[in-house]
Structure formats: C-alpha cells, structure tokens
Structure 1
Amino acid sequence: MLHHIEEPCSLGAHAAVIVPPTWIIKVKKPQNSLKTSTRRKKRTSFKRKASKRGNEDNKGRPFVIKPISSPLMKPLLVFVNPKSGGNQGTKVLQMFMWYLNPRQVFDLSQEGPRDALELYRKVPNLRILACGGDGTVGWILSVLDELQLNPQPPVAVLPLGTGNDLARTLNWGGGYTDEPVSKILCHVEDGTIVQLDRWNLQVERNPDLPQDELEDGARKLPLNVFNNYFSLGFDAHVTLEFHESREANPEKFNSRFRNKMFYAGAAFSDFLQRSSRDLSKHVKVVCDGTDLTPKIQELKFQCIVFLNIPRYCAGTMPWGNPGDHRDFEPQRHDDGYIEVIGFTMASLAALQVGGHGERLHQCREVTLLTYKSIPMQVDGEPCRLAPSLIRISLRNQANMVQKSKRRTSMPLLNDPHSIPDRLRIRVNRINLQEYEGLHYDKEKLREACKIQSRSFFFVFACSAIPLGIIVVRGDCDLETCRMYIDRLQEDLQSVTSTTQRVHYQDQESSFPRVLSVQRLSPRWCFLDATSADRFYRIDRSQEHLHFVTEISQDEIFILDPELVMSQQVGTPPGMPDLVVEQAVIAGDLLKFIECCKKGANLLIQGPDHCSLLHHAAKTGHGEIVKYILEHGPSELLDMTDSETGETALHKAACQRHRAICQLLVDAGASLRKMDSKGKTPRDRAQQAGDPDLASYLESRQNYQMVSHEDLETAV
C-alpha cells in the first residue's frame, strides 16, 4: 500500500478528540561528548541558562506537546485506574490506547495525574475522561485545583468503581459493562459542561475536651475536600470494615459484585452489634447558626450524612422527593448548598427500596463537634476520627461533563419531520448465556432469538415472537418504553393463565414437558443493536438519555440475566435434553454426563419448574449434584419450583441429605431463602427430625454473607 503513504490522515471518526501525532515533539537527550561540551563553552551565558532551564522543564519527559489551536477540536486526556471496580480498568486501558493516540492515555497505577496535566496544560479545549471510581475523579479534581489551570478542563467519568454515585449523578451510569469505546468517545465529545460544588473539611482538636480526655483515633480525615458526601456513624463503620479487609487481603476484592456482597455482610453484622446506636449522644451539629443537636438526639439518628449530590450508597436518593417537604428546595449539585440528612436504622433499610432519610437542613456552612472517636468517611474513604471540631465550607466549583440526551446519525433521525408519530416494535428477549457467547456475532444472536420465537409460537398460537409487539410514540425514550414492556408482560401473563400449559411427552421419558412464559426479572435491560459489530447493554440509569429509535427501528432486544429456557417444543426424540432429566431422577451418572457432553441444557425445567439440581438434591445423588454445581450457572442454586417455592437446599434438607446440603452451602446457596410457607432450609431440616443438620445450617447461616437480593431489602 505504498501509494497511500503521501495521503493525509483524517484521524478517523474521532478526530476531534484525538491528539494528532504532529503535536508531539520528541525531547532530545543531552549529550555528554567532548565535542558537545566544547560547543557549549562558545555559547553566550544567556543561551546557556535558557538551555539549562529548558532541560529542567522537560526533565523525565520523552516528549512535549505543541498544540495547534482549532475551535473544532476537543482533545481528550484519558486517565485509567486499573484497580477500580475489580481490576476492570486494564481492559479499558488497552481499548483506549487502540482508539486514541497512546500518548494521551495514562495508567494511574504507574504515575499520578499531575505530570500528564502539566504536560497538556496549554492545550485549548482540553477535556478529561476519568476511568475509575469516585475516588479517582476526586484525585484528578484535587490535582487540577493545585495546578490552577485556567480555564479548568471539564472532567467526564467512565464508572469502574463500586458505588459510582457521582457518575450516576452526571448520567454516566452505575458501572461500565460493555459499551463500545467509540460510543463513549462520542458521549464525551457531545456532553454538556456543568458545575459541581466542592467542599472544604477543616479539622481541629475538640476545644471542649481537655487533652487527657481525648481518645485514640486519627487526627485528620483521609481527604480535606469532598465532592459527593461526608458522613459519620453506621455507614462509615461499614465502609471502614471493608477498607481494612481489602487492605489485608486485596486479592479477595477483585470483583464489583463481590465487593457489594462484603458491604452487605458487614452492614448486617454491624446491624446486629448496634455499634452506632449512641451516635446522637456524642455529636453537636450547627448549620448556618442553627443548632440541630436537639432534633438529632430526639430522633436518635445512627448516621448523619452531609450530601452534595443527589446519589448516595450506590444509587439511592436519600433526600427523596422535595415535594414531600415544602420547607426545602430541590437538591442540586451546583447551588452552593449542602444537604444535611439523618438516618435511623429503619430509614437506612428503607433507603434501599425507595425511602429517604430525615431532611434536617440546607446550608452553606456546618460546624460539627464530636465527643468520642467516631467512624467517618469522605467520598468513600473511611477512618475513625478522634474527638474533633470539623468545619464544612464551600471551596469552589469544578467543571464536569454531563452525559446528554443525543440523537445518533441514523438516517431516520436526521430529519425531525421524518420521525413517525407511532412506532410498532417487536420485543425479543435474550438470556445471559446466549448474550455472552454471541454478542459479538449479531447474526447468530438474531438466529437464537428466532429459535426462541419458534418455541413460544406454540404457547400463544398467534405470534412467532418471544414477548410481543408494543406501539409507542416516535420520540419515546427507553425509560417510557420500559413501562410499555412491563405492561405487555402483564398482558402475556393473563394470556398464559387462560391458555394453561402445553405438554410434550417423548418416547424415552414419561415425564411431561411444559412451555410457559417466564416473567421478566427486575434486572432486565435494553440492548443497543445499532452498533456496527455487536450488541451491548444499556445501563438502567441511562435509559432516559436514549430514544427508542436509537437502539432499533423495527425491533427491540432485551437481556434478561435470569431467563431460563424450558425444554423447547419440537425437539426431536433422542436429543440429549430429552433424556437428561430421566438420568438425574434415576441416578445414572454416566448417562447424565454423556447427555451433558452432547449439549444437554442444565437449565431445563419440568412442569413444576423443578430443575435438574432440584431432582438430584431430592433423590440424594451427590455426584450428580457436584457435577451440576461445577458445570452449571450460579442461578441454579437459589432457583425455586412453582408449587412449593423450595430451592434445591430445601429439598435436600427435607430428605436429610447432609452431604448434599454441605455441597450446596459451600457453593453459595442462600440459607435465608424462604419457601411458599415461609420456611428456611434450617426449618425444613428441623421438621424432618434431623436436629444435627438443623444446627449445622443455623451455624452456617450466622456466618454467611447476605446475598444481593438481601441487600435490596435490608442494610
């Protein structure tokens, strides 16, 4: 391709954010030869000093940046923290280096952001993308404060952390899944610049206490500035336990989901110990001259939060709907006011299901006195602070990039008049197993949907689609579209309740097969099918930013991670799925393994929605249980049947199969899951007359972390 050498490079679709190679000037290394030193002696003293100063400025840098100003360019500086959110940043770092100039992508585990920001400080229209948690964003904003860049470049966020509350506030979502880098770059380029209040924290010794009464604890907070929130009490105590455990065993905290599980377990443990119950007796809070201490003591708050942004604790909204309280204004992150909220243990639990705390004040300055060592956290960085006087005041406002609602360059959307008033859209559902295996091959994934559609044809006898058809406005966003799909789901449930079940009986098994419409789980999400190469998930907190015509024009694909496909109608006799259940019930391990190797589905269910794991646990075939746990998906563990609502652990406990109970518990089966009669596996073992097994299950229940579902209903 030698004939292309002389052609100018356009830098591709993302030319506006890419740093051109022509801006990068290599720094020459100083030469130490005799000839060079002789030349230096002949130079004037002025030149010698200038050269020395220049070498000091560029010391340690292999290159310098000499930008060419252009109003169309918005050069992007990318900082990636590979350790955030379970080491997800390593993959992101490689992707950005592929799409952009590697000289504009920096690994924060190798060096801090200061050198890079100094290097690019003279680049006009500079934008920054922080790939990490909220702590990574705060780190970059603090360095920008120190460098005093004018104007300060706005900062966008690619959430890789655990909580990502600031990212949620700015519409960047609760965590990065698999959105293409090209889409992210477009959002950064087109995002709206907004202001973010930042608050100072000044810590002094409590003047009301003599020196000999001061308790042990830190004498200063981990950060002296916060962007999200500052809190003390119960939530800070949980965060401190997580922080200390991660410092001791960092290899155990390499997953965002596992981190949340630890938070849930620590919260439950602290709830039982009631370690923060006396918080209200040891604090004094004054906001803009108003003493809130009497109200705090009256309501016996166990947690006090000073909130700057609407989001808190991984996406909850503790300020709630301002319409409920006419005394307060709606919360904003750029109004120069901080919100003060109190929580009891009950309101903290309600926070996970849409509740809120007790609104105390909206103020510009706070004076906080503590009279004992109390756990505190600043933007997720915890410590146990000795009795202190803490003053909170407005520091400044930072420029941030907020992800905005945008139209894509699809032909349908170029002309606003071409958008139809009504759209008739098919809704197709995909399970997680097929998505993970085929989301890079759009045609195969579409074919998988067609296969699922054929199986559902016999259920509805009227349509060859998994869910159905919705009719929406042409300018409908995905948040509204979700309501239509939920309504469609209710209609389908009423249809299947009248249609009842479709039975299929093959030649080899006397066990009837059933096809029914499984309800959508609360975790379903939309898939963007317009990307050139693959499908990708859309974060639920970003649904209001996407028009339905952005992700598809005639059909919508949704991913349901809890979807379990029952045995499909039309499967020829003799296929592995038709005999695998019989092998489990009969305890034929060799036949069962043979069926699995031929492609039998471990997620198939019978008429009562009993899975293969249910049957193996009930009949006491330990080797088959072990094989399913090793090769099957994790959702089998807590899957319940339709008649009794029992899990496989319930079945094993009822039959007093101790070894199988131990296998299931070790694999992570929930010990708090209740059946339709409100009985746990421990209760079932007690009813079956096995006190030893009941005692074992009770002891394991005390130490088992609460599951993700428990996190949504309890602290």
Structure 2
Amino acid sequence: MAGSDILAIARRTPYYQDRFFNIIDVVRDQRRGGLLDLLRRELCAAKAEGKAAGRRPRVISGGGDGTASFTLFIIFAALRADDSRAEEGLADAGNGFIWTDEEMAESFPALVQMPLGSANDFGRTLGWGSKYPGEAESRFRMDWRRHAKDALLKWIEAAISPESPVVNFDIFGIVPAPGQETCDFKLCELGGHRGMDPRVRMDGQKHLVMKEASLPVPLFACLYFSAGFGAYMTARFQMNRRKSAIRNKMEYARQASGILMESIPPQMHQGLDKVQIFCGEERYFPPRSEDGSGGERYREVGFLNINWQAGMINGAERAPLGARICSTREPAKFNDGMMDM
C-alpha cells in the first residue's frame, strides 16, 4: 500500500487527477464506459499532446517488479481494436490496435518505474532507485517528513522531465508457435493452504492443488522467467505476501527452506526432469544430453533480462568451469535484443 498516499494526493491535484489510475480498478472495470475506456481516452489525448510538443508520453508505474509488466499489458489492452465499436474510435488500424504501427513506434508511452515493491530490480536497473522515494532519507532523521517530501518531489521531477533520457528495453512474451492461433498449455495458479506448506493431504499423501488463474494474466516478461525452484518458491510466496518489504524477503526465505526440507509432491518431477529448451534450432537444456542425461539434477532454468534478481543474484552467460573461475563472463543486458538463458 506504499503508493496509496501518492494516489490520494494526485486525485486532488488538477494536473494529475484525470490521469492517475489504480491498475487493479482498471482491470476490474472493463465494461463499456468504464475505467479501461477512460484510460484509452487519456492515452489518446496524451499521444496528441506529446506529438504537438515533440515528446513521447510517459506513464509512471508505481509498484513492484511485476507491476511494470502488468502496466504494459493494460496499455496494450486499452489500445486493442474492437471493430464492433468502430464508431467509437476502436477500429482496427491494420495491426490489431487502434493506433497504426507508426503511431505505436512514435507515441507508445515510455515507462517510468516507481520502486514500491520488495526487490525493485526493474527500478534499480534503469536508475529509478531501489527504494521508495524518500524512504532512505527519512529513516534516521528527526525532520523526516520534510526530507521524505523533498526526495519524492525530486523523483517526480526527474520522472516527468523532458530532459530525462528514454532508453530501449527488451520485452519478451508468451505467444503461439508460428502459424498457430493459440498456445498449447493451460495456465493455473497454486492453491492450498496459506503458511509454511501449501500442500493438501489426500489419500495418505501430500499433494499440490491448482486452481484456474485469475484474469487477466499478463503474458509479458520484463525481467526474468524461469521453470523450477524459483517459480515454485514464488508461487508459494504469492499466497503469503506480507505488507512490508523486509517481511516479504523473510517469507521468500521461509518458502525456499520449506521446499528444500519437504518431500517432492506427486505433481512435480525430480528436478527439471522432462523439461527441454531449444534456442532456435540448438538444444540449450538439458546440457550434455547427448549422453542420455536429463534435467533431473538441475533445479532451475530460465532467462534473465537484467543482471540482477531479488536484489541478491547476478546473471551471466553459461560457460565451462575454467571460464567461470578464470575469466569474466558477459552479464545479462536489458537492451541487447537477446534472451540471456
């Protein structure tokens, strides 16, 4: 709830009150004339104003790392064409959206990430900070209110300044295979009990219980994507999310230790057994599979788009043992157009 005070102030400020949205409210109000329609109207108005001023519009996304992906998803949803409402300005521009490819390239909003989450890897990587604006300044000062306010004002000034540079950032998404309209998998969400162990005992054994994923599901990945230990730990954490960053980090540690101490539930394989990954035509995972070994000895596979994860772990390209010890490997880069496995 770190951003609630910012929202409250913005709603009373004439300059901002029509253009600050609670993203959860937008998701829930997609009816005709609802908040998604209102967001679309403001996006189009910002596009026109930005074009007149020779500037790209900006959207400030306040939240954790996942909020950035969610924000992009909602912007795309707002701009999605609907020919049944063509008379309302939702006609298809030829690409599935109401803006042409040229308009998307010129006026799609630049994303500014206000770091209100636990790890804030996105804000840290792009220079927007790793803490809530004003948090560090206010912690040990008697006059913390003034310093926190000054820090927040400086952050906002940088976020909206036309002089702040705009950089490219790679975005990955889950899309159907070439020539197909749909993906051949189901998306579900971990259910079960809150607490140390989400498994449910049935027939004398502890099982994982899954439920249908709540909608909408953003299928964009800004920072990292993985299968295995980290994904399972995050799914368990989501059921036990806390109200402070430090307690969230402690919850991650609790869930990680629980996974290591528990027996493997029937719904999961040993390690990453049965998982295969191809990069283009080349088999990437499991490595050395020509000798018949599978992925059961590995706990994690995926990609990083930034050289930082959870405020603790750095990523680098895979290399033989000698290269890992004796040389510097290339780090993951967020704007090189590559997927760093």
Deviation of 1:159 (Å):
1.0
Deviations 1:406-463 (A, max 9, x none): xxxxxxxxxxxxxxxxxxxxxxxxxxxxxxxxxxxxxxxxxxxxxxxxxxxxxxxxxx
Q: What is the match of residue 184 of structure 1?
A: 155
Does residue 259 (structure 1) correspond to residue 248 (structure 2)? The answer is yes
Does residue 136 (structure 1) correspond to residue 67 (structure 2)? The answer is yes
Q: What is the match of residue 116 of structure 1?
A: 39
Within the candidate set 262, 285, 310, 1:273 is matched to 262
CA contact (8 A) 2:273 2:296 kept: no
The separation in 2 between residues aligned to 1:106 and 1:230, in whole angstroms, is 27
CA contact (8 A) 2:62 2:113 kept: yes
Does residue 175 (structure 1) correspond to residue 131 (structure 2)? The answer is yes
Deviations 1:635-676 (A, max 9, x none): xxxxxxxxxxxxxxxxxxxxxxxxxxxxxxxxxxxxxxxxxx
Deviation of 1:283 (Å):
0.9
Mark the CA change 1:219 to 1:89 in structure 2 (over 3 Å): closer, same or farther. Answer: closer
* Secondary structure in structure 1 of the residue aligned to 2:313: coil
Deviation of 1:254 (Å):
1.8
Q: What is the match of residue 336 of structure 1?
A: 337
Q: How many residues align?
A: 240
Deviation of 1:319 (Å):
2.2
Q: What is the match of residue 286 of structure 1?
A: 278
CA contact (8 A) 1:311 1:317 kept: yes
Deviations 1:146-167 (A, max 9, x none): 4155221111011111232211
CA contact (8 A) 2:23 2:71 kept: no
Q: TM-score, normalised to structure 1's length?
A: 0.30
Deviation of 1:177 (Å):
4.7
Question: CA RMSD of the aligned region, Å?
Answer: 3.4
* Secondary structure in structure 1 of the residue aligned to 2:306: coil
CA contact (8 A) 2:316 2:329 kept: no
Q: What is the match of residue 104 of structure 1?
A: 19
Does residue 90 (structure 1) correspond to residue 4 (structure 2)? The answer is yes
Q: Quick check: which one's strand share is greater?
A: 1
Within the candidate set 173, 176, 181, 1:200 is matched to 173
Within the candidate set 122, 125, 147, 1:166 is matched to 122
* Secondary structure in structure 2 of the residue aligned to 1:280: coil
CA contact (8 A) 1:230 1:305 kept: yes
Compare CA radii of gyration and give the structure with the larger one. Answer: 1
Deviations 1:260-281 (A, max 9, x none): 2111111111121264782232
* Secondary structure in structure 2 of the residue aligned to 1:260: helix
Deviation of 1:170 (Å):
0.8
CA contact (8 A) 1:165 1:314 kept: yes
Larger relative contact order (CA 8 Å, sep ≥ 6)? 2
Deviation of 1:176 (Å):
0.3
CA contact (8 A) 2:116 2:131 kept: yes
CA contact (8 A) 1:95 1:181 kept: no
Mark the CA change 1:205 to 1:176 in structure 2 (over 3 Å): closer, same or farther. Answer: closer
Deviation of 1:171 (Å):
1.3
The separation in 1 between residues aligned to 2:130 and 2:317, in whole angstroms, is 19
The separation in 2 between residues aligned to 1:274 and 1:318, in whole angstroms, is 29
Identity level (%): 22
Q: TM-score, normalised to structure 2's length?
A: 0.60
* Secondary structure in structure 2 of the residue aligned to 1:279: coil
Q: What is the match of residue 109 of structure 2?
A: 153
Deviation of 1:220 (Å):
8.0
The separation in 1 between residues aligned to 2:330 and 2:155, in whole angstroms, is 33
CA contact (8 A) 1:127 1:153 kept: yes
Q: Structure 2 stretches of 5 or more lacking a match?
A: 28-34, 80-96, 135-147, 176-182, 187-207
